Amino acid sequence: MEQYHKPSNKKVGSGTGGRRRKFNDKRLCHAGGVFTATKVGPEDLKRVRRKRGGSSALKLKKSASINVVTKSGIKKAKIDGVLESPNPEFVRMNVITKGAVVKTGLGKVRVTNRVGQDGIVNGVLVQ
């Protein structure tokens, strides 16, 4: 299993002396997927991933452009690099994640979507 997030029970006793036991075991269907580290590249590179039930999802591996929301409307800009990120390691590796600030021709842009899951990069201009 790649990722398995389950709330932990901090309370051990029930208050009446009864024993607390695990409700059920970990299941494969509750496991998360592998993190898609979307990097800055010369052109967009997308991969199609099969989901449960036969549906598909896009994974964005590399991105060259970003859709920027400005006061005059939505513009497409070229990504030059990552300036800030919630994880400082991602700045060095040029990995784009939600909340990262990227450098574009329009200025600094903050990423507002989950890039690896959406297949596109959207952002808001930072003043």
In this structure, the chain runs to a length of 127
Evaluate whether 96 touches 38 at the Cβ level (below 8 Å): yes
Q: Which helix (H) or strand (E) holds 70?
A: strand 65-70
pLDDT at 1: 46
pLDDT at 9: 57
Domains defined along the chain, listed by start: 38-125 (3.10.290.70)
pLDDT in tens, the chain (127 residues): 466 666 555 566 667 777 777 778 888 888 888 889 999 999 999 999 898 899 999 999 999 999 999 999 999 999 999 999 999 999 999 999 999 999 999 999 999 999 988 999 999 999 7
The encoded tokens of residue 72 equal 């005059």
Q: Token pair 């400005």 is at which residue?
A: 70
Evaluate whether 48 touches 56 at the Cβ level (below 8 Å): yes
Please state the pTM of the whole predicted model. Answer: 0.77
* The dihedral sign for the CA sequence 108, 114, 116, 120: negative
Give the residue ranges of DSSP H helices in the chain: 88-93, 115-118
Among 67, 103, 105, 113, CA closest to 83: 103
The encoded tokens of residue 24 equal 């059920």
Which 3 state secondary structure label does DSSP give 112?
A: coil
Among 47, 97, 59, 102, CA closest to 77: 102
